[in-house]
Amino acid sequence: SPCAPGKFDEELIKTAKHIASPGKGILAMDESNATCGKRLDSIGVGNTEENRRTYRELLLTAPGLGNYISGAILFEETLYQKASNGKSFVDVMRSTGIAPGIKVDKGLVPCGTATTSWCTGLDGLAGAAEYYKQGARFAKWRSTVAVGAGPSIIHARHAYGLARYAAICQDNGLVPIVKPEILLDGDHTIDETLDVAKATWAETFKYMADNKVMFEGILLKPSMVTPGAECKVRADPQTVASYTLGLSQPRAPPVPGIMFLSGGQSELEASLNLNAMNQSPNPWHVSFSYARALQNTVLKTWKGEPGNVKAAQEALIVRAAANSAAQMGKYDP
Ligand code: 13P
């Protein structure tokens, strides 16, 4: 039975280790149709299935992408689409060593308060087996905690959802990206972020252990510990690195990789902060799983014009290479 415990253990460990290879990270390109529509709208491109496919083809066929990117997270639609040469995107990715990932949550709904989100989609996770058949080897699920969200019961619900999702993914051969995400929105200080992150992480690992999640077969995707986006007191990369590693050190088990999200940081900030974390010794593969911090310049360069595809792909490679260097603590802008 696909639910037999341990059936996929070896493969899960292999997939997670591959994604966490030295100098490599994840390209998050799993924007839902609504979010992708917002991105396309910002460059005056209509939100049609063909335009989304064309944009994703630009990303996945950027020459040299596989030198820096070991996995890419897709929205369901993309998992079933083909490049214009007729090859499926899954095959395009496999030919360059990029593991296909899939977003399996179905969007956020408020959880107890208006500021913490519970994610829908757990009931539909039986579909994980189908994604595996289609070529997906890892998964992402997004739920979020806001600073100031209130009592710890909120963090516990968030953690329970993450843990159930992780266990179901592993039963179906997908490495779950576990994402305790603290939102950047707000004027909270870096210390307030740290307090909420501590509580959230403690609950997350407790529920994962209760649900018998195999830690060697997951990847973490947390937010970095930073001040809120509107906080007047900013933090330099060394401060972000020491808070973030200080959070992880006593809490994170030896998972194969911690792949941070960019969460609204600028492209440069996201690379500098990652670099700073890798300049001090740490026991993990500390890397990136960025969407906006890899794609912002790409979109602005492309503008939907076929003549700009090459320049847009080069822009993607510039960011991918920068973050690859930052993974090794060798980024020098
Ligand atoms: P950002 O890097 O843009 O935060 O996106 C990562 C992600 O997967 C958010 O769900």
124 Cα to the center of ligand 1, angstroms = 22
Question: What is the best residue among 38, 108, 262, 294 to mutate for testing ligand 1's pocket, by most ligand atoms within 8 Å of CB?
Answer: 262
Q: Ligand 1 in contact with 290 (CB < 6 A)?
A: yes
The HSE-up count of residue 95 (CA atoms within 13 Å, CB side) is 11
Provide the ipTM. Answer: 0.92
Name the CA radius of gyration of the chain, rounded.
19
Cα dihedral across residues 5, 9, 11, 17: positive or negative:
positive
167 Cα to the center of ligand 1, angstroms = 22
27 Cα to the center of ligand 1, angstroms = 9
| Predicted local distance difference test score (pLDDT) of residue 107 | 66
Cα dihedral across residues 71, 77, 80, 83: positive or negative:
negative
The number of the ligand 1 atom at minimal distance from the alpha carbon of 223 is 4
Other C-beta atoms lying within 10 Å of the C-beta of residue 34: 9
Q: Ligand 1 in contact with 28 (CB < 6 A)?
A: yes
Which residue CA neighbors atom 5 of ligand 1 most closely?
291
Share in percent of the chain as helix, strand, coil (round to 5):
45, 15, 35
Q: Quote the tokens at residue 254.
A: 């030896």
pLDDT by residue for the chain (333 residues), tens only, comes to 344 557 899 999 999 999 999 999 999 999 999 999 999 999 999 999 999 999 999 999 999 999 999 999 999 999 999 999 999 999 999 999 999 999 998 766 665 555 555 556 676 777 889 999 999 999 998 878 888 755 555 667 778 888 989 999 999 999 999 988 888 889 999 999 999 999 888 889 999 999 999 999 999 999 999 999 999 999 999 999 999 999 998 888 889 999 999 998 999 999 999 999 999 888 889 999 999 999 999 999 999 999 999 999 999 999 999 999 999 999 999
d(CA 309, CA 3) in angstroms, rounded, equals 44
203 Cα to the center of ligand 1, angstroms = 22
10 Cα to the center of ligand 1, angstroms = 28
- For every residue of 36-84, DSSP letters joined together read HHHHHHTTT----HHHHHHHHHHHHT-TTGGGTEEEEEE-HHHHT-B-T
